[in-house]
Structure 1
Amino acid sequence: MKISNTTIEDQLLVLLSYNNLTPSEKTKIEQLIPLISSWESFYNLARFNRIIPHIYRILKQENWWQQIPDHVQDEISERAAEIQQINAARLQKAKPILKRFQEAGIEFVILKGVLFAETIYQNSFYKRMNDIDILVRKKSIPNILQIFEEEGLLCIGERIGGNPEKQLKTSHHLPPFIDRELQCMFGIQWGLKSPLTPYRLDYEAIWSRVRPFSFLGLNALQMCPEDNFHHICVHLGYYKNGLRDVFDIYNLLRKYEANFDWQLLETEVKKAGTERLMYFALSLTNSLYSNPTVSELIKKMEPQTSAYYKKGVAEKTKNLHTQLRIGTSYPTEVEKAISEFNATNQFKEKSYYFWLTWKYLLFPPMEEAKKMAANLYPNARQGVWIWWTRSYRMLEYIASEISWLLLFALMFKTWYDLLQCGWSNLFFKSSKTSTKEKMNTLGISEEALERIKKRIQ
């Protein structure tokens, strides 16, 4: 772990992010706790990295809780309790839906955080999770949609409205579905990476390696550790890389490394062409939890890695202080705006989301631009450079996933769709409804709609 140019708070937070602490790690934590100069700063950093519930449990488990000032105890406890309540409500709502999957003979694989909560952390509330991500076979989609309809779940979009089955041809997942109390959102996937990207995971091989998993007392499935590891590495966002997004990678390894099949992982990475994504994720992970085998794998992936990802690693891991403070989900604002643009057929509303999409894409706020540039304290010259290049950074980020050609095609499509909508509205005004009107017909208020948007990340 890099400790240069860092604070005691930085070092302590990373150590507390580890699961199943070793004796030497516990000793180091016990040495650091009395040296904390500002527990409020520690809390704010933990809140920014969104791992409050996990560290709350560790501090309680290891009897370090009483060494924290009372007011910070209150803040940590309150946040942990809030997330526990949210997660508990989500699981309670999910069980009857998944029971129907089981009764219908639908095979379903629990993914990411919801799985790791039970298998790695043994703590359903170790972090806040916006939805329950599930991998299914594509042939199961019609049955799943029927169950969702019968159970009264709402389809949030493309993200709002439209036929969700149209996603089968253009995506690797359905639009999110949520219950009417807005407590449980389902992310149904038949793939792990968008078909718009150049990456091709071998799903038949993945399905051949799934194993039984009891989830909420139901017969669910989980991918093997190597496939889960591959998935969360390729799922890591280029800018969304705080501790919450990274610590599952090294904690999975800490649990399964003794029997981990590194050769299988390398084979699947080569087949999928995900070397550059693995290089990026493993490099960020290794800067927080150093592992010799991971270091060797990074070296193997480097020749197939583009300059873009190498530069990203160099920027983000230059010191721990920076790495813990640059995670941002800002690019999802672009995705949400595009989703809303696609959802509405009302010209006035479509024009607004057209403007919002381009605003988010080309003019990120300076505070977000500094995080994306991994330069939180720029001098005047650096500040000007960040300001001038912020648009390019956003465009380059999207192009790195889908190619510049497809990016320009999609950008052109927004203009085409807007003009087509304007022409259609000119002659068929009465047939067009706004997103707000669509949601009102489903009994969802504007305030509730905003809460739903915040969950989609």
Structure 2
Amino acid sequence: MVQLSREETFLLLTCRPDLTPSDDVRLQRIVDSDLDWSFVLWRAESYQTLPLCGFHLNRLALLPRTPEWVVHYIHMWSQLSKARSEVQFRRLGELLGHFRACDLEHYLFKGPLLAALLYSDPALRPMQDLDIMVRKADVWRVQKELYRLGYQHGVFNPADGVFTHMFRKITHQTLEHKYALHSVTMVEEIRPKFDTTLIAPEWRTRQIKSFVQDDGSVRMPVFVDIHFSLGAGMEEVDVWRGAGPRRLLGREVHCQSLTSVLWFSAARIYFEAYQHGTLKLQMLGDIDALLRLHAEDIDWPELLAVAGKYGFSAAIFYVLEQVRRLFDAPVPLKVLALLMPDQQGRPDEADFGDIVPKLLSRTVISDLQLA
């Protein structure tokens, strides 16, 4: 058994929007211990879970027992993140309305859907961009409509707030091995209700790309990712399976199905960690929340079929088994047994082992003994 540190336990607890009473007791005990807050803030910022840290500390009346500089850091980072979320969701509403008016088939998924669907306050779940799925045959029309709205391909420089336009031509050849277009961006100027001189430059160049101008206003880029598949080689019928309208943030929005949300999120957190070194503990909290709120809506046979068809059963096994063990999330044991890699079967090239040590950047060597 691997004994997690107090810091690792704090991070695992606060990556989730909803905790159990026993989780609350554990979190209170940890906060009252000798916690390495510098390490916690560094990792929580990279995971983008600082707003949830602040939420739970406030909910449990633990802020007075937390060092003042820690509270200030969490508060300021979360305010800047919330300002970005407000801009993002405002632009998202405009985008989805325009797509409907243009009769462009689409659905919402990834960060925007997870934030709106699973969190009492969507600002508790920061997101880097807005993700929208469209039909592959419509990508040329979609690009044209995005440019008509003011979005452009290019690069935003947080060092000076300048956006450099770089048009990307779509061809059948460029689409052949991709599942998304190059990101498009719209830069918006906002005037936050807090002192922007207190925004650390490092925040603006890492998770919250932005630029503070001399007059205190902030140039905030809104990044939009247009997808036409969930992965290379995936059949369109599986990409769109179950997608449909759902009441979200007071309006009807076409969304990815909950079953697809689950398998896609589990596969994504796993492969992004092992293949790209992108550690998204935040998504472990997403999956836990999805299972707690919508377990009855998951089509488990469909999940098993898709996982087997595209070869990511092992990835989903390690993720779901850990949210079950760590958080007591409701995952059917029969499903886990069918997902679990078979030691006597053909080695799975997509089986990299347990996900949690990787997410925590923890080196784990099993203590083995010969028979």
Q: What is the TM-score of this pair, normalised by structure 1?
A: 0.61
The secondary structure found in structure 2 opposite 1:29 is helix
The secondary structure found in structure 1 opposite 2:44 is helix
* Change in CA separation of 1:73 and 1:13 when aligned onto 2, cut-off 3 Å: same
Partner Cα separation in structure 2 for residue 246 and residue 112 of structure 1? 13
Given that 1:91 and 1:184 are in contact with CA atoms closer than 8 Å, whether structure 2 keeps it comes out as no
Partner Cα separation in structure 1 for residue 263 and residue 256 of structure 2? 10
Partner of 1:187: 225
Partner of 1:220: 253
Give 1:7 deviation, angstroms. Answer: 2.0
The secondary structure found in structure 2 opposite 1:187 is strand
The secondary structure found in structure 1 opposite 2:19 is coil
Partner of 2:244: 211
Aligned residues: 316
Given that 1:172 and 1:191 are in contact with CA atoms closer than 8 Å, whether structure 2 keeps it comes out as yes
Please, which of 178, 181, 190 is the counterpart of residue 174 of structure 1?
181
Q: What is the TM-score of this pair, normalised by structure 2?
A: 0.74
Partner Cα separation in structure 2 for residue 205 and residue 43 of structure 1? 39
Partner Cα separation in structure 1 for residue 231 and residue 8 of structure 2? 33
Flag structure 1 segments of 5+ consecutive residues without an equivalent: 327-373, 378-457
Partner of 1:265: 303
Partner Cα separation in structure 1 for residue 334 and residue 346 of structure 2? 15
* Change in CA separation of 1:43 and 1:205 when aligned onto 2, cut-off 3 Å: closer
Partner Cα separation in structure 2 for residue 81 and residue 45 of structure 1? 18
Please, which of 133, 139, 151 is the counterpart of residue 149 of structure 2?
151
Give 1:91 deviation, angstroms. Answer: 2.2
* Change in CA separation of 1:96 and 1:260 when aligned onto 2, cut-off 3 Å: closer
Given that 2:324 and 2:331 are in contact with CA atoms closer than 8 Å, whether structure 1 keeps it comes out as no
Partner of 2:170: 164
- After superposition, the C-alpha distances for 1:350-378 in whole angstroms (9 at most, x for unaligned) are xxxxxxxxxxxxxxxxxxxxxxxx5499x
* Change in CA separation of 1:208 and 1:325 when aligned onto 2, cut-off 3 Å: closer
- After superposition, the C-alpha distances for 1:174-225 in whole angstroms (9 at most, x for unaligned) are 1111114462111111210123xxxx3x532553522313456554211221
Coordinate RMSD, CA, aligned = 3.0
Flag structure 2 segments of 5+ consecutive residues without an equivalent: 156-164, 189-219, 366-371
Report which of the two has the higher share of helix: 1
Q: Sequence identity of aligned pairs in percent?
A: 17
Partner Cα separation in structure 2 for residue 173 and residue 287 of structure 1? 34
* Change in CA separation of 1:313 and 1:241 when aligned onto 2, cut-off 3 Å: farther
Give 1:150 deviation, angstroms. Answer: 1.1
Question: Are 2:82 and 1:84 aligned?
Answer: yes
Give 1:249 deviation, angstroms. Answer: 1.9
- After superposition, the C-alpha distances for 1:20-75 in whole angstroms (9 at most, x for unaligned) are 22222223323333224333333233224321012212222333322212111101
Partner of 1:420: none
Report which of the two has the higher share of strand: 2
